Structure 1
């Protein structure tokens, strides 16, 4: 009976995938993943995601994947100073290449608290068979402390402005998403002076009442990702409830700005720092909810990489990749 159920679920998944959009623009091949990011190196696509030591998968075509060893076999020593008894379950990485070096930013946190830090590790190659393959950890870049900071140091994303200056966006809940200028080494916050900005937020209710009932938000915003396109910086973010399987209400929104630090405006010219954000994707069909996206250009096509909660599989979190089309300067996808 169990084997028949599994066969039925696989058949249903294939049928739904084929019926939604062509395979060239829709890819979600039943990979269980949370908070995915992707990069191409020497003809191979590497997928990094939340997991023990940071989960890694490789693929020659963005579809068939091989699980690789995690980035960290053991948690970096500094993590226990931020989260006592940290068990190496690392959240929401970001991967980027700059001048021949790969930078992996990653989140160390306690669920539901802003006792968090973002660390960074570097590698000269992503090919595990290369003799130069070695992850070197550089420790924390930013850290949030309960009672001191009204922001949360998780969900990092590295972006360069038009002048080549590096910026790290991050954040979740509390008083919104932040962006901070980095030094040229990409491992430390720039000083003299430091430059921090809020780039998106939603109103947070400190007392639970009818305003926070049901699917209403209470500051539910996280997972910033900044993508440059046609003279704009597009800020993607995720709203509402994640990580609750079929009960999740996660969705992806976007705003844009001519400046990397904002203000980011949605289609109605509402500022994202005041709760604005235009909908890109929400739960539909087999997907109870979708969110925590990254955006990339591969072979002259733009893609959104994110996860969704699969109603046909007990709400498990699965990988989704969709090609982006641009309508009147705004990103759209078919879910």
Structure 2
């Protein structure tokens, strides 16, 4: 059936890989997950905070986890919301210009565990941001956004992904190109009335992993996008 036929939303859907499109307004309430793209504290940060050990959120203003002015960009986004198997916490943050970095977090204090900074993705100065690390099966998947958002229907933001068997990398795309060398497998880009999808997150529902993101409609209105994630025979994610 066409899930949008009764709701008048032919432009507010992303087609499945196979079968009829599913209107986002028809999704169960459990899958209607709202978020905002910009602000003093993103939904990414709030979700991560909810998963910190009890009491850590009360100390979040005690000290800086990572200062900005001393050689590191201040444009930081994205706390991974899933702990690796060794129970260490990490923060991935996205510099639009100098690539995606990863630091270890002390679970007892919420501060940096050490002084190491690992580069896990970059485009040689090209635009990349909004990192999100999600574990599925034997792999950690690094989702990032390439190119430019926030330009309405002219946005060319797109969601890319690579994977690694270690949370600290190295991450490679489907073709074996390191994400630190500009690699990334395109997961979702502009199509039809969906413009500039990006700022992505992934979470697990009862029956599928779910990709959420923002995009722009034809008139430039920002929208929330939600798609099921599937995995092919080689373990690479795709949307439907």
Q: TM-score, normalised by structure 1?
A: 0.60
Question: How many residues are paired up?
Answer: 225
Which residue of the partner structure matches residue 77 of structure 2? 155
SS in 2 for 1:224: strand
SS in 2 for 1:273: helix
Work out whether residues 28 and 319 of structure 1, in 8 Å CA contact, stay in contact via their aligned partners in 2.
Answer: no
Per-residue CA distance 1:144-194 (angstroms, 9 max, x = gap) = 12xx32434421223422211000101122210011000013621113xx2
Q: Distance in 1 between matches of 2:194 and 2:31?
A: 28
Query: Which consecutive residues of structure 1, in runs of 5 or more, have no partner in the other structure?
Result: 1-10, 30-39, 52-88, 104-121, 123-135, 205-218
Which residue of the partner structure matches residue 119 of structure 1? none
Per-residue CA distance 1:217-260 (angstroms, 9 max, x = gap) = xx100000001011100000000011111111000000000111
Higher strand proportion = 1
Among 41, 65, 90, the alignment partner of 1:141 is: 65
Per-residue CA distance 1:252-299 (angstroms, 9 max, x = gap) = 000000111111000000000000000000000111211010011011
For residues 254-273 of structure 1, what are the structure 2 equivalents within 5 Å?
Answer: 254-273=161-180
Q: Residue 143 of structure 1: CA displacement?
A: 2.8
Q: CA RMSD in A?
A: 3.1
Q: Distance in 1 between matches of 2:145 and 2:52?
A: 30
Work out whether residues 201 and 272 of structure 1, in 8 Å CA contact, stay in contact via their aligned partners in 2.
Answer: yes
Work out whether residues 231 and 237 of structure 2, in 8 Å CA contact, stay in contact via their aligned partners in 1.
Answer: yes
Work out whether residues 26 and 322 of structure 1, in 8 Å CA contact, stay in contact via their aligned partners in 2.
Answer: no
Which residue of the partner structure matches residue 90 of structure 2? 167
Query: Is structure 2 residue 151 aligned with structure 1 residue 198?
Result: no
Work out whether residues 27 and 321 of structure 1, in 8 Å CA contact, stay in contact via their aligned partners in 2.
Answer: no
Which residue of the partner structure matches residue 184 of structure 2? 277
Q: Distance in 2 between matches of 1:264 and 1:19?
A: 28
Which residue of the partner structure matches residue 180 of structure 1? 103
Query: Is structure 2 residue 227 aligned with structure 1 residue 315?
Result: no
Describe the shift of the 1:276–1:256 C-alpha distance in structure 2 as closer, same or farther (beyond 3 A): same
Q: Distance in 2 between matches of 1:177 and 1:262?
A: 11
Query: Is structure 2 residue 205 aligned with structure 1 residue 298?
Result: yes
User: For structure 1, which segment, 262-271 or 297-306, has the greater mean C-alpha deviation from structure 2 after superposition?
Assistant: 297-306
Q: Distance in 1 between matches of 2:84 and 2:41?
A: 25
